[in-house]
Structure 1
Amino acid sequence: MKWILGALFSVVLCQTAIAATWEITYPRPISEDDHRQDYPVKLLALALDQTGVKYKLQPASVVMLQDKALKQLAENRSVNVVWSMSDIDRESRLLPIRIPIYKGLIGWRVFLVRKDKLAKFRNINTLQSLLKFKPIQGYDWPDTKILQSNGFDVLTSKSYAGLFTMLASNQGDFVPRSLVEVWKEYDAQFMDESIVVEPTLGIKYPAAMYFFVNKSNRTLAKLLENGLEKAVANGQYDVLFEQEFRDIFERSNMDKRFFFQIDNPLNAPATPIDREELWY
């Protein structure tokens, strides 16, 4: 009798979850010209579609920088899902869904530089020679610590827009941006005309960007995990990824570009490195 009652209760819970509308609130883009959110939101929708639940995807009512969004998520306020590059600290404070949403390309970095400094980058042929140049990164980004741990003298900005303002005003030598971000940024109206994408070099390190939820929100985490796993298994994840990023490899001159491999000491032990289907 207890087993039957338990089974019936589980069915009721399942039916309730399917009938309810899941309200998924994510960080609002910084501006209308900020298209970095487009793909993660599409992937969220794809994952939720796989589960059959009713849902409503909506941006938060106010703009918040990454550090603020992660803090709000940890406090269970304003947002209930955030995508961010993983590190040991973030995985200790939040609940990650360990499927890299960019197939690890978040760790493949090419350089935004000033046009008048392009010639200096042509003479770089070792990591040691690259270390003489100063990168600019966000003050709270894991990338900053990764670069510092590999010997770079990193300058930091407290705002996203400040990265490009600092570069344009000759503070620092380059801004490393991932393959999946750099071209949308370069094409955006806010990008200063003095800035270009350096055509021959890059750095890469193992890195994953995940969807994160509040540690107490295991139901939502399981829902997103199930949806993403289904999309990976049935190939729809690959289809969306290809649609979004098929042009970046040609545009990035991958056959002529050399990437220096550096270490990422911030990778969490549970990073699914062995699942080849999740990585580029």
Structure 2
Amino acid sequence: MIKSLAVFALLVTFSAQAATWRITYPRPMSDSDKRSIYPVKLLALALEQTGVQYSLMPSERIMLQNKALKRLMDSRDVNVVWSVTDKQREQQLLPIRIPIYKGLIGWRLLLIRDDMPARFKYVQKLEHLIKLIPVQGRDWPDTKVLQANGFNVTVDNAYGNLFNLLRRAQGDFFPRSLVEVWDEIDNPAYNSDLMVEKEIAIRYPAAMYFFVNKKSRPLANLLEKGIEKAIADGSFEQLFVHTFQAKLDRANMPNRHVFELENSFLPTATPLERKELWYHPNEQKQGQ
């Protein structure tokens, strides 16, 4: 009897170890869309840290962010999505409250038409910038942030269309985060007639999290455990530096005029007190 119980226990243990966590994330908008590369690498790092067996794959179909979030709420097609947090999003989904970009998503450079730089030289105060029109995604939390700070925002559902709005002068600038802007301006699919404005930046507190379905607490715990272990052993920072340091250097932040915006949509549970989770441009270069 004792021997049989021991064998059963070993089988249960082996079965648990052999179980595979199947992680499905939204498929990128196109082959030239590089925005998924870093989040997927971080997901893989977190899962490796836990020692579980896993498969990590994109959804069968391309989904705009709003559709991906709805699918996640319905437990269909995807079981993890990364997105900028706000109060509504945290009511609908379960966040892993570690800002995967260390807050870089709230540090914004301005994509403008290449015939516009002279106009931006006259922008010396926030009230000057507010007179210009940004373009943004219709359902992006950043859109609400800009509107709450007094901007008249031109919106569209499709990411690729936003660049066209700017080219057609239906907006004056497209604020893009430090993690996105250089891939976009180097991409022939997006960069025609556009440039990165050289003297201005916008900053507001913002966090992009991994989100899972409200009922997926075990998955949330697994990912949180893995990311925290990666933070503790330095591998999170190594991935961050490897991915973004050259982009931060290229942004030349110390020589930019940074306009600070308020973000009243930031949930109170945002871990602002954990300084190691956030990018600080005035401190020594990350990883040195």
Which residue in 2 is equivalent to 1:218?
Answer: 217
User: What pairs with 1:6-85 in structure 2 (closer than 5 Å)?
Assistant: 16-85=15-84
Query: Distance in 1 between the 2:12 and 2:258 partners?
Result: 50
Q: Is residue 23–residue 80 contact of structure 2 (8 Å, CA) maintained in 1?
A: yes
Query: Distance in 2 between the 1:248 and 1:113 partners?
Result: 18
Q: In 2 relative to 1, CA 113–52 (structure 1 residues): closer, same or farther, beyond 3 Å? A: same
- Correspondence 1:243 to 2:242: yes
Query: Distance in 2 between the 1:256 and 1:218 partners?
Result: 44
Query: Distance in 1 between the 2:172 and 2:82 partners?
Result: 28
Query: Distance in 2 between the 1:253 and 1:95 partners?
Result: 36
How far residue 189 of structure 1 moved from its aligned partner, in angstroms, is 2.0
Q: Give aligned-pair identity as a percent.
A: 55
How far residue 192 of structure 1 moved from its aligned partner, in angstroms, is 3.7
Secondary structure of 1:190's aligned partner: coil
Q: In 2 relative to 1, CA 13–110 (structure 1 residues): closer, same or farther, beyond 3 Å? A: farther
Query: Distance in 1 between the 2:11 and 2:234 partners?
Result: 31
TM-score by length of 2: 0.92
User: What pairs with 1:41-190 in structure 2 (closer than 5 Å)?
Assistant: 41-190=40-189
TM-score by length of 1: 0.94
Q: In 2 relative to 1, CA 13–260 (structure 1 residues): closer, same or farther, beyond 3 Å? A: farther
Q: In 2 relative to 1, CA 54–120 (structure 1 residues): closer, same or farther, beyond 3 Å? A: same
Provide runs of 4+ in structure 1 moved above 6 Å. 11-14
Query: Distance in 1 between the 2:11 and 2:105 partners?
Result: 41
Q: In 2 relative to 1, CA 13–205 (structure 1 residues): closer, same or farther, beyond 3 Å? A: farther
Secondary structure of 1:33's aligned partner: coil
Deviation per residue, 1:120-167 (Å, 9 max, x gap): 101111000101100000000000100000000111011000110100
Q: In 2 relative to 1, CA 91–12 (structure 1 residues): closer, same or farther, beyond 3 Å? A: farther
Query: Distance in 2 between the 1:167 and 1:274 partners?
Result: 37
Q: How many residues align?
A: 273
How far residue 274 of structure 1 moved from its aligned partner, in angstroms, is 0.3
Q: In 2 relative to 1, CA 13–185 (structure 1 residues): closer, same or farther, beyond 3 Å? A: farther
How far residue 264 of structure 1 moved from its aligned partner, in angstroms, is 0.3
Indicate the RMSD between aligned Cα atoms, in angstroms: 1.6
Q: Is residue 114–residue 167 contact of structure 1 (8 Å, CA) maintained in 2?
A: yes
Q: In 2 relative to 1, CA 15–143 (structure 1 residues): closer, same or farther, beyond 3 Å? A: farther
Q: Is residue 160–residue 190 contact of structure 2 (8 Å, CA) maintained in 1?
A: no
Query: Distance in 1 between the 2:256 and 2:216 partners?
Result: 42
How far residue 79 of structure 1 moved from its aligned partner, in angstroms, is 0.1
How far residue 255 of structure 1 moved from its aligned partner, in angstroms, is 2.1
Secondary structure of 1:196's aligned partner: strand
Which residue in 2 is equivalent to 1:256?
Answer: 255
Amino acid at match of 2:265: L
Of the structure 1 ranges 102-111 and 13-22, higher mean CA displacement relative to structure 2 is found in 13-22
Q: Which runs of 5+ in 2 are unaligned?
A: 280-288
Secondary structure of 1:229's aligned partner: helix
